[in-house]
Amino acid sequence: MNVTLRGKRQHHRTVSFDALSNSVVLIEQRLLPHEFRLVKTRDYRETAEAITTMVVRGAGAIGATAAYGLAQGARAFRGSRLDRFETHIEAVYQTLKHARPTAVDPVNAMNAIREEMAMGETVSERQDIAFAAASRFAEEDVEHCRALGEHGASLIQDGMRVLTHCNAGWLAFVDIGTATAPIYAAQAAGRKFHVYCDETRPRCQGASLTAWELAQQGISHQIIADSAAGFLMSRGEIDMVIVGSDRVLGKTGEVANKIGTYTKAVLAHRHGIPFYVAIPLSTIDWDLGSGLEIPIEDRSGDEVLGAWGVIPGKSGKLGKRVYVRIANPTSTARNPGFDVTPPELITGIITPHGILKPKALSKLRGKR
């Protein structure tokens, strides 16, 4: 997407790769919306740490980051023995796989790359294959998101009020995004509508990231407290909900997404409001048979007990980024990062191949 920096509009991708320095290049999302900065991770361990600490976040973005991280680790290997190379690749894979356990995109991306790498007869060939396959995954991520926009744009008509949760925009993918893809496509078609961005506690990705994206794109929007959505629905002020997902079970249609998504689905169902989930194919898990099997990430309680922000600096400029405790000093917190929404609460899943009912995802098996 295009970003306006110091009066100049420039195109950026959330994730890219610098082959010369063997570095993964990321937008430092923890600094947004106050500062736009690109960072480079120098090896696969730094790349995994960037995923864990949410320098980069969002299903497709961490999928592409893990894909590039696997290629980065492969390219860093020195030697010609395939057995040692494969031992090294397994260590790289496991490090990146466990960086954030709920999302399935990183695992799907790396598994596909490793299958292709097995066709190489030498270490050098496998290194080249890894880089080419990672780059192809990133390009497919963009194309899938573009297709999501084409299929979902017709859902958004003039005058509609759309609710989003967390950030499933271009910052959560290589470009364009999933939940935002129909929004951007509807804007390109000339439609006028309004978006409500859930703040999305505790990290507030809706308030800091989705709102920043929409502001950059010139789309009418407002930030609301997570707990305000039900009130607006009861007053007839929300017409549709679109969210993304970190893992969708192909066998059952269950959707794992940012904590609070299930609550919004229940509220939408109660008020007869369409609830859509937008995903690329890399987000589908074809193995697990129940949402109870999805590993739900438990994050630090500090995210609930406090908040990050930027204090005013001198001469009206922004100062340093600081953490502020907002909770009772002696209390602790539990902080599950995701929840699971059952298929009966979902109107449809927007995919690169059209809008499907959650239990009809089997039609997509084997597609790219």
pLDDT by residue (tens digit) across 50-91? 999 999 999 999 999 999 999 999 999 999 999 999 999 999
Task: Show the domains of the chain with their CATH numbers.
Answer: 2-146 (1.20.120.420), 152-297+335-364 (3.40.50.10470)
Residue in this structure with the two tokens 């017409």, named with its chain if needed: 239
Q: Which three-class secondary structure state does DSSP give residue 288?
A: coil
**Position 277 pLDDT exceeds 90:** yes
Q: Which residues contact 205 (CB under 8 A, 6 or more apart)?
A: 57, 166, 167, 258
Number of Cβ within 10 Å of residue 18's Cβ equals: 12
What is the structure's pLDDT at 316? 64
Q: Is 246 a catalytic residue?
A: yes
Q: Counting Cβ atoms within 10 Å, is residue 290 exposed (0-12), middle (13-18) or buried (19+)?
A: exposed
Please write the tens of the pLDDT for every residue from 173-187.
999 999 999 999 999
On whether the CB atoms of residues 29 and 50 are closer than 8 A, the answer is no
pLDDT value of position 319: 75
Rounded CA-CA distance 55/105 in Å is: 17
Name the DSSP letter for residue 342: -
The conformation of residue 154, written as its DSSP 8-state character, comes to G
Please, which residues bridge with residue 340 across strands?
256
DSSP string, 51-94: HHTTSS-SHHHHHHHHHHHHHHHHHH--SS-HHHHHHHHHHHHH
Question: Does pTM top 0.85 for this prediction?
Answer: yes
How confident is the model over 2-55, as pLDDT tens digits? 898 888 999 999 999 999 999 999 999 999 999 999 999 999 999 999 999 999
Residue 313 pLDDT grade (very low, low, confident, very high; cuts 50, 70, 90): confident
Kindly tell me if the per-residue pLDDT of 317 is higher than 90.
no
- Stretch 272-282: mean pLDDT, rounded? 97
Q: Which of the residues 246, 285, 287, 298 is marked catalytic?
A: 246
Indicate the SS3 state at residue 228. helix
- DSSP 8-state class, residue 207: I
Contact 336, 296 (CB under 8 A): yes
Residue 367 has pLDDT above 90, yes or no: no
Identify whether the C-beta of residue 243 lies closer than 8 Å to the C-beta of residue 166. Answer: yes
Please give the DSSP secondary-structure letter assigned to residue 3. E
User: Which amino acid, one-letter code, is at 225?
Assistant: A
Residue 178 CA to residue 144 CA, distance in Å, equals: 9
At residue 261, the 3 state secondary structure works out as: helix
Kindly tell me the burial class for residue 310, based on how many C-beta atoms sit within 10 Å of its own C-beta (0-12, 13-18, 19 or more): middle
Over range 247-273, report the average pLDDT.
Answer: 98
pLDDT > 70: what percent of the chain?
99
Per-residue confidence (pLDDT) for residue 6, from 0 to 100 = 82
Max Cα–Cα distance, the chain, nearest Å: 67
Question: CA-CA distance, 200 to 223, in Å (whole number)?
Answer: 10
135-194 pLDDT per residue, tens: 999 999 999 999 999 999 999 999 999 999 999 999 999 999 999 999 999 999 999 999
Structure confidence at residue 1 (pLDDT): 85
Distance of CA 339 to the CA centre of its chain: 15
pLDDT of residue 200 exceeding 70, the answer is: yes
67-76, 234-243, 316-325: least confidently modelled range: 316-325
